[in-house]
Structure 1
Amino acid sequence: MSAAAIQPTLCTLYIWPSRWNLPSIDPTCIAAVFYLQLTIPGKFEVVECTNPDVSPSGKLPFLTHGHAAVSSIPAIISFVSSLAKSTTSGARNLDAFLSAPQRANRTAWCSHVEVNIGDLVAYSFYSLDDNFWKLTNPTMASMLPIPQRYYVPGRIREMHRPRLEAAGLWTQSASEPEKDSFGKRQKTDDPKDEYARAFERDKVSAQAKASFALYARLLNGQKFFFGERPTTLDVYLASHILLLLDPPFPDQLMRSILEESYPTLVEHARNMQTEISQLPQYLVAAAQKQSLLSLIPRPLSNPPKTKESQMDEADLRFRRMRWTWFALALGGVACYVAQLCMKVSVVRVNRRPRRVQRDGANQERETEVTITEDEEQEDDEEQEESAPSRDGDE
């Protein structure tokens, strides 16, 4: 069997664009890139995308492999793990060496990272006022076309707000900064707001330290959580920690907590970067051109056809039947509209003679009235002329 025969179909990963020397600005997108780097290095390409509507679930990241499209990081991990079961795929299972109890712990801790550390990442990007207006909003606006850049960052922030409020990580006080008619913020200096923010900042610091301490104890001075080899849990945690360390936030609260109190977590994230940098790098597809058509949400276009992905006879017959049905439906609608127009024209033609007859009758009545009036006038004149002659005869 030749090398071309065992070469798997190239996978395509759609993610939010890269910034700050990181694969993406989203932690789950970074986790997807890291996972594919460790399982199918050099056998996938990345497409930087800013339109989540192309995803089957409406969220990034998502992966395409042939005709399959898989969305969400757990589904991507499950899909790649299924590919690893084939000896010809070239993929490997990142957690194959774990025992059954270790795999159960891994799944639970991955969910914990996505919820708790994910809340801290969202807090740094969207909750802190300075971070959002000075870093998050300009960064996302530079990625998006006009007019999305003017409203999408704020909309994403509002999407995160209920989750952060439920977690106690929405730090803005009740008196939100007012906006003028152009949407710009107007500064309002209120001592009560400053005290409230200081109190909430201490509360957030305590909550972050409690979460970081759990993973520091779990790591227990090891290079990775389960020894010298990275697992899915290492991918999850490192992708979130790196987004708390590398972006140039104006408010460096999370970074200062990590570097001062939990250096083992910082070292773990850097070890993951080093491990991945030694593997073959993935391909980055050319940036998608933005146009006015990008304002219309559209489904993902079909992948390019290859010899292995040609449609069989059943697919062709189904497509022909579908287009035939569309043609018959449009033909039926056209016939109905034509018949309706003909009926309307016939009704109009039938109504015109009646109006003419009515108008003729009215004219005849008017002429009869005028004739009778003229006759009465003539009779009156004759009577007046005959009156004096009768007087003379008498």
Structure 2
Amino acid sequence: MMSTAATQPTLCTLHIWPSRWNLPSVDPTCTAAVLYLQLTIPGKFEVTECTNPDVSPNGKLPFLTHGHAIVSSLPAIISFVSSLAKSISSGARDLDASLSALQKAKRTAWCSHVEANIGDLVAYSLYSVDDNFWKLTNPTIASMIPIPQRYYVPGRIREMYRPRLEAAGLWTQAASESEKDSFGKRQKKDDPKDEYARAFERDKVSAQAKASFALYAKLLNGQKFFFGERPTTLDVYLASHILLLLDPPFPDQLMRCILEESYPTLAEHARNVKTEVSQIPQQYLVAPAQKQSLLSLIPRPLSNPPKTKESRMDEVDLRFRRMRWMWFALAFGGVACYVTQLLMKVTIVKANRKPRRVQSERRGADQDHEAKVTDEEEGEEQEDDDDEGASAQDGDE
């Protein structure tokens, strides 16, 4: 599905979580974005694998860059590409152009339902099931990111999904009781008393999954795709989630068993969408992976795409850059002036302290000298008194 040879000029760049398990991405939303772009603008976009969501405007992946435009979130990307389809020169195709107004309204509602309900089941399989997380999800995410992030980022992502899964009733007891050491390694804590509770939780999750899958199996009604013989946005949404329940080598295969045994039409539908995408001659490009370093710990804004001679910056860009550098210069100058004034004050205070010390020492010496003189005078007066007393005694005699 991927190609590194440049066959056509790239129009857009899609930033997604890296690919694994023979899927475009480990995230269902990123997978849906890749499938959608390949069906609408095949060969006219490239994929950049990213592990730092902070570079996205909304802090989440995927997001799309097209020239100076940055589009984040999957619904916004779909809307943006649909607007490109209105221009014949762009070569883009609208997957939902043949749908009626009522069908488009149903498509929007069902897409939101897929992202919420089937998305919960994907998150459950990746992050809630203890064996799946420690044996598959955690090592997979850790292999994508450098040291030291690999020791704490997988656990942090798991904790981000925890409130959502708890609200959906899909956070298991084993996940709540699992303990980790300082390096994120699992410390086993087996308790036979919890086996019945875990079995009950498993049955509850199985019933919840079957209820959700039954809705889409009924909606599909044995057709190849939901609205005919061509895939639409709804097909892309559902297939991207179902594929992440089928293809990853989960140690706990609960969801895969439910799909293949009870709802094989949904599994076949996901394979049909994937086959439809793989049969397109023009494949998307994959940008070279970025080298990771300690500087990746610092969130940085997106760098502008390389400029060609034909695409020069306009006056607004030049003015913005000049104002930005002027602001940096003023800020640096202000800090330098503040530091200089502070150093001058410290120097003046030190200079004022030295004379005071010398003066105090001189005062102490003068006081000592005066005390000595006083003592000497008192001694002389005492000697005179003694002499006078002695002479008076001699006269009496």
Calculate the TM-score normalised by the size of structure 2. 0.91
The aligned counterpart of 2:60 is: 59
**Structure 1 stretch displaced more, 269-278 or 7-16:** 7-16
The aligned counterpart of 1:135 is: 136
**Aligned with residue 376 of structure 1, among 371, 375, 378:** 378
The aligned counterpart of 2:88 is: 87
In structure 2, the CA distance between the partners of 1:343 and 1:273, relative to structure 1 (3 Å rule), is closer
In structure 2, the CA distance between the partners of 1:328 and 1:84, relative to structure 1 (3 Å rule), is same
Q: Do the aligned partners of 2:152 and 2:183 also contact (CA within 8 Å) in 1?
A: no
Letter of the 1:127 partner, please give it: S
The aligned counterpart of 2:196 is: 195
**Structure 1 stretch displaced more, 159-168 or 324-333:** 324-333
The aligned counterpart of 1:3 is: none
The aligned counterpart of 1:316 is: 318
1:64-102 C-alpha deviation (Å, 9 max, x unpaired):
111111111111101111111111111111111111111
Q: Do the aligned partners of 2:33 and 2:62 also contact (CA within 8 Å) in 1?
A: yes
Q: Do the aligned partners of 1:17 and 1:48 also contact (CA within 8 Å) in 2?
A: yes
Letter of the 1:297 partner, please give it: P
3-state SS, counterpart of residue 88 of structure 1: helix
Letter of the 1:44 partner, please give it: F
RMSD between superposed Cα atoms in Å: 2.2
Task: Could you tell me which runs of 5 or more consecutive residues in structure 1 were left unpaired when the two chains were aligned.
Answer: 1-6
**Structure 1 stretch displaced more, 358-367 or 50-59:** 358-367
3-state SS, counterpart of residue 51 of structure 2: coil
3-state SS, counterpart of residue 383 of structure 2: helix
3-state SS, counterpart of residue 224 of structure 1: coil
Letter of the 1:53 partner, please give it: D
- Distance in 1 between residues matched to 2:195 and 2:201, nearest whole Å: 10
Q: Do the aligned partners of 2:128 and 2:175 also contact (CA within 8 Å) in 1?
A: no
Aligned: 1:208 with 2:200:
no
1:220-246 C-alpha deviation (Å, 9 max, x unpaired):
111111110110001001111111111
Letter of the 2:314 partner, please give it: D
Deviation at 1:18, TM superposition (A): 0.9
Aligned: 1:159 with 2:164:
no
- Distance in 1 between residues matched to 2:329 and 2:181, nearest whole Å: 53
In structure 2, the CA distance between the partners of 1:313 and 1:352, relative to structure 1 (3 Å rule), is same
The aligned counterpart of 1:102 is: 103
3-state SS, counterpart of residue 13 of structure 2: strand
Pairing of 1:345-364 with structure 2 (within 5 A): 345-346=347-348, 348-349=350-351, 352-353=354-355, 356-364=358-366
Letter of the 1:48 partner, please give it: E
1:318-365 C-alpha deviation (Å, 9 max, x unpaired):
322332343234334433443454455445545654554454444333
3-state SS, counterpart of residue 89 of structure 2: coil
In structure 2, the CA distance between the partners of 1:168 and 1:392, relative to structure 1 (3 Å rule), is closer
1:191-217 C-alpha deviation (Å, 9 max, x unpaired):
331111111111111111111111111
Deviation at 1:316, TM superposition (A): 1.6
In structure 2, the CA distance between the partners of 1:353 and 1:392, relative to structure 1 (3 Å rule), is same
- Distance in 1 between residues matched to 2:175 and 2:53, nearest whole Å: 32
Pairing of 1:331-350 with structure 2 (within 5 A): 331-346=333-348, 348-349=350-351
The aligned counterpart of 2:286 is: 284
Calculate the TM-score normalised by the size of structure 1. 0.91
Q: Do the aligned partners of 2:155 and 2:184 also contact (CA within 8 Å) in 1?
A: no
- Distance in 1 between residues matched to 2:164 and 2:306, nearest whole Å: 39
- Distance in 2 between residues matched to 1:174 and 1:315, nearest whole Å: 50
Deviation at 1:314, TM superposition (A): 3.1
Q: Do the aligned partners of 1:8 and 1:88 also contact (CA within 8 Å) in 2?
A: no
What is the total number of aligned residue pairs between the two structures?
388
Q: Do the aligned partners of 1:66 and 1:309 also contact (CA within 8 Å) in 2?
A: no
- Distance in 2 between residues matched to 1:145 and 1:289, nearest whole Å: 10
- Distance in 2 between residues matched to 1:227 and 1:134, nearest whole Å: 40
Deviation at 1:180, TM superposition (A): 5.2
Deviation at 1:308, TM superposition (A): 5.0
Q: Do the aligned partners of 1:9 and 1:66 also contact (CA within 8 Å) in 2?
A: no
Q: Do the aligned partners of 1:14 and 1:60 also contact (CA within 8 Å) in 2?
A: yes
**Aligned with residue 302 of structure 2, among 292, 300, 303:** 300
In structure 2, the CA distance between the partners of 1:349 and 1:191, relative to structure 1 (3 Å rule), is closer
Q: Do the aligned partners of 2:225 and 2:269 also contact (CA within 8 Å) in 1?
A: yes
Deviation at 1:176, TM superposition (A): 0.9
Q: Do the aligned partners of 1:141 and 1:150 also contact (CA within 8 Å) in 2?
A: yes
In structure 2, the CA distance between the partners of 1:340 and 1:205, relative to structure 1 (3 Å rule), is closer
1:165-208 C-alpha deviation (Å, 9 max, x unpaired):
11111122597134456654343333331111111111111111
3-state SS, counterpart of residue 173 of structure 2: coil
**Aligned with residue 326 of structure 1, among 325, 328, 331:** 328
The aligned counterpart of 2:243 is: 242
**Structure 1 stretch displaced more, 205-214 or 382-391:** 382-391
The aligned counterpart of 2:218 is: 217
Equivalent pairs: percent with the same residue? 81
In structure 2, the CA distance between the partners of 1:351 and 1:147, relative to structure 1 (3 Å rule), is closer
